[in-house]
Structures are given as C-alpha cells and as structure tokens.
A and B are shown apart, each in its own frame.
Chain A
Amino acid sequence: MEHILSFLIFFPVVAALFGFVIHERSIKIYAITVASIEFLASLALWSQFDGASTSMQFAQQIPLIETYGISYFVGIDGFSLFMIILSTFMTLIALIGLTIDNKLKNLVASILLLEMTMIGVFCSLDGLLFYFFWEFSLIPMFYIVGYWGSGNKIYAAVKFFLYTFVGSLVMLFGMIYLAWMFKDATGEWSFSLLDWYRLQMPLSVQFWLFLAIGLGFAIKVPMFPFHTWLPYAHGQAPTIGSVMLAAVLLKMGTYAFIRFSLPILPDASVYMMIPMASVGVIMVIYGAMVAYAQEDMKQVIAYSSISHMGIIILGTFALNPEGISGAVFFMLSHGIISGALFMLVGVIYDRRHTKQISEFGGLASVMPKFALIFGIMLMASVGLPLTMGFVGEFLALVGFFAVSPIMTMFAGTSIILGAAYMLYLYKRSFFGPITVEANRSLKDLKANELSALVPLVLVVVWLGVYPKPVLGPIDVASKNLVNFMYSKAVDEDTKKALVKSNTIEKGVK
C-alpha cells in the first residue's frame, strides 16, 4: 500500500505503452478499463486515508540526483487526495464519453500520459519533480489540441504551449532560487518541499519569490491578465481536450498556490492578499461579462471558467480555513461541473457540428434528457443550494468576508452574473419554439453519453446535499495550513493579519 502513489502515477503510462499492440477497434474499451482500474485505485487510496492526520501520507522518497538534493518524493494530504480522485474520475468520464474515431490509439496514449502528469503534479513533494510533471503535461495537451482540434487549432495549441512554458520557466528560476536559499541557510541543497517548509526568509526575498513562482501558477489558473490563451485553447480543442483542460489542468495552478506560495511564503502571501483578491474579483466580474457577450456556446463556458477561478483565488487568499476549504472544494466542484458542461456542448456539437447559439433554439422539446442534465449542471454552475457548486462558492465567500466585506460583495455578484449568462444561454438554446429546421430531427442522449453524464449529475447532487466526507479531510488540511502559516510568519504584521482574517468581530472562533 505504500507504493500506491507510484502505481497511480505510472500505471497509465505503462498501460498506454501496452495499448499500442492492441487493435484499433478495442482501444476504447481498453482505455476505459485502464481508467476504471485507476479510479478504483484512487478510491482505495481514499478509503485508506486517515482523515484526521495532518502529516503527509503514503509518502515515498527515492533520491535521484544527490548533488542537488533532487529526489522522487511523493505524498498526499487532504488537498492532494481529492485532486487525485478528481483527475482519475474525470479521465474515466471523459474516456467513456469519447466520440472521436480517427487515430484513436494516439489519442488514448496522450490522454493516459496526461493522466500520469496530472496525478504526478498533485502528489509531488519535490520542487523539480513537480516542475517535471507540470511541464510534461503540456506535451500531450499540445498534441491533442493541435491534432484533433478544429479551426485555428495549431495557433491555439502553440499559444497555450508557449504562454504556459514561459511562465513555467520563470517558475523554475524561482524554485531554483528557493533551493539556493535553502542551501545558503543550511549548507545543503534540497528541492524537497518539506525542507522548504522549514525555511524562513525576510519579506523582501519572499515577495520576489512569490512573484516569480506565482507567475507560472497565475498563467495556468488562468489569472487576469494572463488568461488570453484559455478561450483559444477551449474554442479550438476537441471535447475531450476541453474536459481535461477545464476539469484538472486549470486546478494545477490554484493547487500550486496552496501547496507552494502559502506555506513557503506566508508573509508574501499576506502582503499580496489584497492585490491577488482584487485580481480574483476582476476575474469574476470580467469573466462573467465577457461570457454574457459570447455567441459560441463553448466560449460562454470557457469564460465562465475564468469567472469561477476568480472565486477560487479569492477563497485561497482569504487565508482562513473556511476560505481555503471553500476554494479547494470549489476546485473539485468546478472540475466536475465544467467537465460536464463541456461534455454537454460536445454532445450537441457531435450532432450539429456547430456551437453557435443562434443555430439552436427550442432544443428542450427535441432532446428532453439532454435539456434536463444541462439544466442541472447549469444550476450547479450558478451555485444553487443542494448542488455541489453552492458549497464551495459559499464557503469561499464566507472566508473572504472576514477579510473584506465589500470585496466579497463584489465577488458575490458572480452568482447573479453567472445566473444571467447561463440562463440567457439556456433560454436561447433550449426554450421557445424550434427556429432552425435541422434541430427537429436531433436524437436525444445515447447510451454512452448518458453513462458519462449521469454519474456526474449524481456526484453533483450527492456532494451538494452531503459534502462532509470530502470537506472533512480538506478542512483538517486547511486548518493545519493556516496554523502553519501563523507559526512560520516572520513579520508581526503578518501574524496580525492572519489573526484578523481568522476571527469574527465580537465573537469567538
């Protein structure tokens, strides 16, 4: 059991290599089998996870390059566990709902390779190992968008690759500088995160490091103004590419903030709290406004992703357990909900080969099941209570309320604006009479599409009604993180700010 993380990371790659000897017509079943095994393994991981412990579990360390203290160091805590389960779950769902049929072997190999990098990012505890998985995820995504995409696919793929690569190189520079600071302080090189957690640095150094490694994370999130690659990448990517991108890859950025910036650079995180939160609020409102103006269904959802990631940033930089837990839970819920929304758009694209809203209208009368599932996911995306979307959004906003009620109010408009553009989209596409004749003969959801979408609906409703099994370990990890930041902070101002964001006026916490 102690090797389960390595199994989770490397099993998809080995399976992908074996997949090349399998015949093209069975490759989809093979892929679904591999993804199911992976998913069951991650559920086993959850069952063995000790929800009350605050240390890293299932840790494994193999030294790679002793000279510089680089090792293969993996381990999980409350945050990583659910990110891993999200990755395996969404890969399984995406593969079940896969409708592409040319060069399927290459696509399956790329998806499984991508799965390896996603899980690797979430359980890496070594800076350079994290960088390796982070960078390596670009290659399969580049291939998927550039080959199976539509329209301006190569431009979108290259923009995605170059933008993220530049950010990652600045992040690499920051990480190497961090390792050097560790060597300066203790005399030994180490890239291990647990060693970096012990490092204390003055605010001036922390600030620059925050900007350096934060740039790489910010481009991945994507934070305004580094978000321009996302609409292209989503617009031109195939359905499965968008699902993987939105569901998991975007979460790598926000996860990295929680794993790297907050614990290693607590003073800088507090110092940058308001600027980062402002960018978050801008993302929320700007993303929502632009989403409202889109004519392409997929772009509406792409911009809504930017809007939702703003809430996550807000929750993270609330720097209290509610905010951070809310942000992490919202990462999970956004992953599942956007994944579902992109798959739904993919369903209609498969039938009509267009994503323009003006081409639709009155779909609810022709495809009732599709309209029902779309409606449920839409409500979840808006943040309706009893769906998963509400829990995360509410907790993140409650968390930030302790810091600044006014900014929270602005961010809270995300619920209103979200309702605005989503309901507008829904009305124009689904309600009313059928305006385009081609829509009259559309078939409703097929078996494989249903089997991909129904589990998502069930998860959304289940975790909306009873989020405790997931929220429990996340909460433990968040409380541990905030306590850790408090004890590690170098400046007195930092400690005061942390206390302020963690107490309710005229009340006890």
Chain B
Amino acid sequence: MEPVNFSLAELNLPSLIPMIITVIGATFILLIDLVKKLDSGFFVTITMVTLGLNLGFLLNYSYDANGFFDMLLVDGLSILAQLVVVFGSMVFIPLALTSHRFKEFELGEYYAIFLYMIAGFQFMVSSDNLILIFVGLETSSLALYTLIALHKRDKSLEASVKYFVLGALAAALFAFGSMIFYGITGSIEINVMKEVILASDGANLGLLLLGSAFIIAALGFKLSLVPFHTWVPDVYEGSPAPLAGYISIIPKIAGFVIAIRLFEFLAGSPDGVVYTILWIGAVFTMTFGNILALVQDGVKRMLAYSSIGHAGFVMTAIVMGTTEANASLFLYWFLFLFTNLGAFTMLWMTRDPDVVWDDRYDHPYTKFAGMVYTSPVGAILMGIFMLSLAGIPPFALYWGKVFLITEAINSGHLVLGFIMAINSAISVYYYLKLIIYMFMKPHDDSLQELHPEKGSYPIKIVLGVSGVSVILLFLMIDPLMSYITTMLSSAGY
C-alpha cells in the first residue's frame, strides 16, 4: 500500500486562514456554551472579535492564492466578496443586542451557526471549483434556514420551510447544471471549463444551453431573479428585521460572485442565448420588483420587493460584463449594505413583540404615521434611508446608480441604461409613501406609540453609523473605486 502523500504546500494554509478563524470562533462558542451559560453580549463580542480578525487578515492579502489542493482560489474577486461578507456580518450582528430579550439571541448555537454560515459564504466565493462552491452554498444556506427558524414564530417556521424547500430545489438544479458542464468539458474547475468551451467553438451547444439554464435557475433563486423570486417576501417577513436585512445583502453578493465567475464567459457575445436570457432576466427582475413593491401595505414586504428590484438593477452589471461594471456592482452593493442596514435597523427599533398594530403585518405603513412628532430624529433618519434607496443625490445609493448607468452607456448598452433610469423613477413612489406617512400624515393616537428611543445602545450606534455613512460616503467613492478596480483587474474580471 502506497502512503498517500499530502503536500502541505498544496494545502497552502495561509489562503485558508480567514475561513479557519471563522470556524475556530464558531467551535469556540459551541464549546463554551457547553461548559458555561453566558449571555448574548458575550457571544456577540466573540463573534465580532472573530470577524474582526478575519477582516484584518483579508485586508492584508496581496496575492492570488491557490489553496486546498487547488480547490480554493483566493483572488481579488474573492477577497472583495469576503470583505463585503465579513464586514456586513460585523455590522449586522450587534443588532442581536436588543432590550427585548428574544429567545434565540441568548442561545450560543445562534452565533455558532451564524459564524459557520459566514465560513460557508467565504468558501463559496473563494473557489473556482464547482464542488467547493456547492459545498459552501449548501453550508451557508442550511445555516441560514436554521437561523430563520430559531425565531420560533409561526411566520418564521413557514418562512424557513419555504426557503428550505425552494433552496433544496435550487441546489439540485445547481448539481444538474454542474453535472452537465462536467460532462461537456471533463472538468469541474471553472477556468478549465472556460478554456474547453471557448476552444470547442459551438460543439455541444444544446447541452451547453441546458447546463446554463440549470445554473441560471439555481443562481437565479439565490439572486432573487424573476421568476425565482417568490420566496423573498415571505422569508423577509418571517425573519426578524436584522436577519432579513442580512439576507438582502450577504447571500446575494455571494451569488453575484458565482454569477460573475460563471456567466461572464458564457454571456460573452451579445448575440448569444445566455446573454439574452440574462438581459431579459435583469430587466424583468428590476421592473417586477419595483411594480410589486408599489402595491404593498407592509414596510418589510415593500423592502423585500425593493431588494428584488435592486438585485435586478445590479444584475445588469453581469450582463455588461466589463471590469468597470463589476467594480460598479461592488460599489453599489457596499452602499446598499449601509442603506439597507439603516432601514432594517429602524424597523428593528420599532419592533415590539407585545404590541399589535395590524393583524396582517408587523410593520404596516400606518404604524409610522406622524412619526416626525414622536421621534423626529428617527423619522429623519428613516427618511434619509428611503431617499438613498430611491436614488436621490447626495445620499449613498445614488452614486451606485450613477456609476452603473454610466457603465451601461460606456459599454454600449443604451437601452439597458435607459430602462435602469426609468426603473429608478418607478421605485421612488413606494419610498416616498413611507416618507409621506412619517412626515405628512397626522399621528394616530389610537395606535400604540412607537418608542424607538427604547432601543438599546448597540442598535442606536448601528443606526447612527449607517445614517452618517449614507450621508457622507460619497466623499469616499474615489478611494473605494480605485481599490475595487485594482482588485478586480488583478483577478482578471
């Protein structure tokens, strides 16, 4: 029997360090929880420390690393995505420190699962190998389903099961698609696949399209493309506000990275079928998301549909395929992170499990009526987040939109750019609706008071940070864009 030779050089431990830190942090939480009963403050701190170390290592990466026997590819794209994932997680987890003492935030398992989910996302974006992408995708998704279900209300259980069933279907479709691509190209690594397909020049076209269709369906589920978006509103409504905000940002960026890796060579030529499918998908997603958000009565559902609209808006960057488009995608998503963080934190602050404002929604529009009288700072902040989402200058997300529309014009996609501009116009109304309720409707004294000032300090700090960022981030756009563009072009995207 020959001894199996594991070469440590091929394992390349340094490329794995961010993920290892996350896993060690999660395991540490689990072990401590076995031994001693600690409260949510401790767990949040450990999580933040873990993620902080993670962030530090990521910011110091300066080379393309192939690791884990060549399954891992930590290039510029992966580092950028990991930075967004880790930083996003860092700003969302302090929201677990509420004054309401929700059961699930006291469990150590919650934070362990949270960290395992982040590790899953990190693996997912750092890989060129379809199997590792699948493993990362499944790890993170299963962890996310559990996190939603831990909230233990009927709506949450329903949301979790819906997400699980549809997610399992999407995973199966991903497996089918990968299988077909393996069959055509003989490899599960994306760059080898790319070379084989480009060299084969049109052979196996039918099988290639079938595989692409499966992968588009699978990724479309993750990215909430129409018509795979149906899980989004129910899952957002069933999850607590911070988790809903988290779902709107982090899994999507991981999905976008996979889409960038996979689609940008498939959708290369504008005459291609895949290009047309993605173009139509992006336009429909934007438009449907915006139109459906117009008729919503609950703020959280409106934000869910609005995030579908934003995902469609950003999907056009994948359609455009240039480096500047991908850079604009990351800039947009970074600004979107702060804006959605603020909006969902505001919802979280006004959440009170003992009060019923409406028998259908937790956050009906009417709950916010006249908020400017009871809590003016809260109303102004929420107004600023809404204006940023609508794309009104100088608030953060406007710049993301301008960069994307500029890149659409620059790369010759004039019709797409025009549709993006019109969709921005459509989306304004439902953001304005909340502003009208807060500022112009009279305060309904029969409804319970909102009392957002009762929110705990961590929540107020997160709200303050996101508010200031939304107003002032436009000053940081130059350095951000140059960093993003350097990272992306060094990775070849």
Residues of A in contact with B (beta carbons under 8 Å apart)? 64-68, 106, 128, 131-132, 135-136, 138-139, 142-143, 146-147, 153-154, 157-158, 161-162, 165-166, 169-170, 172-173, 176-177, 179-180, 183
Contact = CB atoms under 8 A, between A and B. Distances in A.
A179 B399 CA distance: 15
Given A67-B481, A165-B428, A176 B440 contact: no
A131 B393 contact: yes
B440 A146 contact: yes
Interface of B: 372, 387, 392-394, 399, 402-403, 405-406, 409-410, 414, 417-418, 421-422, 424-425, 428-429, 432, 436, 439-440, 474-475, 477-478, 481-482
Given A136-B392, A173-B418, A179-B406, A67 B482 contact: yes
Contacts, number: 79
A166 B405 contact: no
A65 B440 contact: no
Given A66-B478, A165-B428, A146 B436 contact: yes
Contacts of A139: 387, 392
Contact of B417 (A135, A138, A146, A173): A173
A183 B412 CA distance: 13
26 contacts: A64-B478, A65-B399, A128-B393, A131-B393, A132-B394, A135-B392, A136-B392, A136-B393, A139-B392, A143-B439, A147-B439, A147-B440, A153-B440, A157-B436, A158-B432, A161-B432, A162-B429, A169-B421, A169-B424, A173-B409, A173-B417, A173-B418, A173-B421, A176-B417, A180-B409, A180-B410
B406 A158 contact: no
Q: Which label, helix, strand, loop or mixed, suits the secondary structure of the B interface? A: helix
Q: Which 4 A-B pairs have the closest CB atoms?
A: A132-B393, A166-B425, A146-B440, A169-B421
> Which of A142, A153, A169 neighbours the largest number of chain B CB atoms within 10 Å of its CB?
A169
Contacts of A64: 474-475, 478
A65 B421 contact: no
Given A65-B478, A172-B421, A177 B409 contact: yes
Contact of B477 (A65, A147, A157, A183): A65
A172 B402 contact: yes
Contact of B428 (A106, A136, A162): A162
Contacts of B399: 65
Nearest to A131: B393
Given A139-B392, A161-B432, A183 B421 contact: no
A132 B474 CA distance: 12
Contacts of B482: 67
Q: Which label, helix, strand, loop or mixed, suits the secondary structure of the A interface? A: helix
Nearest to B403: A68
Contacts of A169: 421-422, 424-425
A183 B372 CA distance: 45
Contacts of B477: 65
B376 to A, nearest CB: 9
A494 to B, nearest CB: 26
Given A64-B474, A139-B387, A162-B429, A170 B421 contact: yes
A161 B440 contact: no
B393 A161 contact: no
Nearest to A171: B421
Contacts of A138: 392
Contact of A176 (B392, B405, B425): B405
Contacts of B406: 68, 176, 179-180
A220 B361 CA distance: 39
A166 B372 CA distance: 27
A131 B398 CA distance: 11
Contacts of B429: 158, 162
A135 B410 contact: no
Contacts of A65: 399, 474, 477-478, 481
A154 B440 contact: yes
A114 B458 CA distance: 35
Nearest to A161: B432
> Which of B392, B421, B428 neighbours the largest number of chain A CB atoms within 10 Å of its CB?
B421
A166 B474 CA distance: 23
A83 B439 CA distance: 31
Contacts of A66: 478
B88 to A, nearest CB: 24
Nearest to B401: A172
A132 B429 CA distance: 19
B405 A173 contact: yes
A230 to B, nearest CB: 19
A165 B392 CA distance: 9
Nearest to A158: B432
A192 to B, nearest CB: 15
A176 B439 contact: no
Nearest to A179: B406
Contacts of B394: 132, 136
B421 A165 contact: no
Contacts of A165: 425, 428
Contacts of B425: 162, 165-166, 169
Contacts of A147: 439-440
Contacts of A172: 402, 405, 421
B322 to A, nearest CB: 14
Given A136-B393, A153-B440, A169-B421, 20 more contacts: A64-B475, A65-B478, A65-B481, A128-B393, A136-B392, A138-B392, A139-B387, A146-B440, A147-B439, A157-B436, A158-B432, A158-B436, A165-B425, A165-B428, A166-B422, A169-B425, A173-B409, A176-B402, A176-B406, A176-B409
A157 B439 CA distance: 12
Contacts of B436: 146, 154, 157-158
Nearest to B392: A135
Contacts of B402: 128, 172, 176
Contact of A135 (B393, B405, B432, B478): B393
A106 B440 CA distance: 12
A162 B410 CA distance: 27
Nearest to B433: A158
A178 B424 CA distance: 20
A49 B405 CA distance: 39
B474 A161 contact: no
A147 B372 CA distance: 11
A351 B410 CA distance: 58
Contacts of A170: 421
A170 B474 CA distance: 22
B478 to A, nearest CB: 5
Nearest to A168: B425
A131 B392 CA distance: 10
A48 B428 CA distance: 42
A161 B402 CA distance: 20
